[in-house]
């Protein structure tokens, strides 16, 4: 009885891991924007396995996420694997106000503790 339960749980775990690796989004480097007035840069990554049904181009509707780096290329703020703040590539417009780096109209990175605040 125990060995059957172990085999069933192990096969379920393997199936979940394989499905997760097959369905997780893949991201590639898109561009780097330097923040004026600060020694910071924003590195933008876009989803490259994005697909849609239709005849029109959906390049502006691709999901993207950003990383905050200093000008030497050291990463200061990076999103976690499971809590990714994804936005549309057309919405990204980095600007700094009151120690906050806004990368969309409402979502920002706090420049004091480098934490993400995502509002979709």
- Give domain status of residue 19, yes or no: no
Closest listed residue to residue 43, CA positions, set 80, 83, 90, 92:
92
pLDDT < 70 positions in the chain = 49-60, 81-83, 120
Question: Does the pTM exceed 0.85?
Answer: no
- Give domain status of residue 90, yes or no: yes
Instruction: Tell me what the pLDDT averaged over the chain comes to.
Output: 84
In 3-state terms the chain splits into helix, strand, coil percentages (rounded to 5) of: 25, 35, 40
- Give domain status of residue 6, yes or no: no
- Give domain status of residue 3, yes or no: no
Q: How many domains does the chain have?
A: 1
pLDDT at res. 22 = 80
Could you tell me the residue range of the domain that residue 93 belongs to?
26-117
pLDDT at res. 51 = 60
- Give domain status of residue 108, yes or no: yes
- Give domain status of residue 62, yes or no: yes
- Give domain status of residue 61, yes or no: yes
Query: Facing residues of 96 across strands?
Result: 101
- Give domain status of residue 54, yes or no: yes
């Amino acid at each position: 009885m125990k060995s059957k339960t172990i085999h069933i749980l192990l096969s379920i775990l393997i199936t979940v891991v394989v499905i997760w690796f097959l369905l997780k989004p893949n991201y590639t480097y898109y561009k780097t924007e330097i923040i004026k007035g600060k020694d910071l840069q924003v590195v933008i990554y876009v989803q490259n396995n994005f697909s849609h049904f239709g005849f029109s181009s959906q390049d502006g509707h691709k999901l993207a996420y950003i990383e905050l780096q200093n000008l030497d290329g050291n990463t200061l703020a990076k999103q976690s694997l499971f809590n990714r703040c994804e936005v549309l590539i057309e919405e990204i417009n980095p600007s700094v106000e009151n120690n906050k780096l806004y990368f969309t109209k409402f979502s920002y990175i706090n420049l004091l503790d480098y934490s993400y605040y995502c509002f979709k």
